[in-house]
Amino acid sequence: MDSLHAGELPLSIAHQKTEAVATRAWAVDRMIYVELTDQRIVGFPANRFRRLRDASERELADVRLEVAGTALRWESLDEDITIEGVVAGRFQLPPVV
């Protein structure tokens, strides 16, 4: 059996992809926030997604977690966004400068 060098992981661990899962989601001042299972909090501006950009504060606040914490859902806006995409920084629209 080959020995590992400091900082190396076995291939079976190094190539495993961990899924981003949120435990809660909320909106404040046109920012959407999610708290992940590892306790990180990730936020993004609503204007990075077409349907959220024009939504009211009340509509944005109506966010809920779906699919066992792997997606955000706004029923009234018919919008779904994956937590994985948010964490990876994959947005529909460029930042407003």
DSSP track, 3-71: PPPTT---HHHHTPPPPP-EEEEEEETTEEEEEETTS-EEEEEGGGSHHHHT--HHHHHT-EEEGGGTE
Say how many domains are in the chain. 1
Q: For residue range 55-97, what is the model confidence (pLDDT) as tens digits?
A: 999 999 999 999 999 999 999 999 999 999 999 999 999 988 7
Q: What range does the domain containing 65 cover?
A: 18-88
Q: What is the CATH number of the domain that holds 25?
A: 3.30.2020.40
Whole-structure pTM value: 0.80
Residue 4: inside a domain, yes or no? Answer: no
- Which of these ranges, 5-14, 17-26, 30-39, has the smallest mean pLDDT? 5-14
Residue 29 lies in a domain: yes
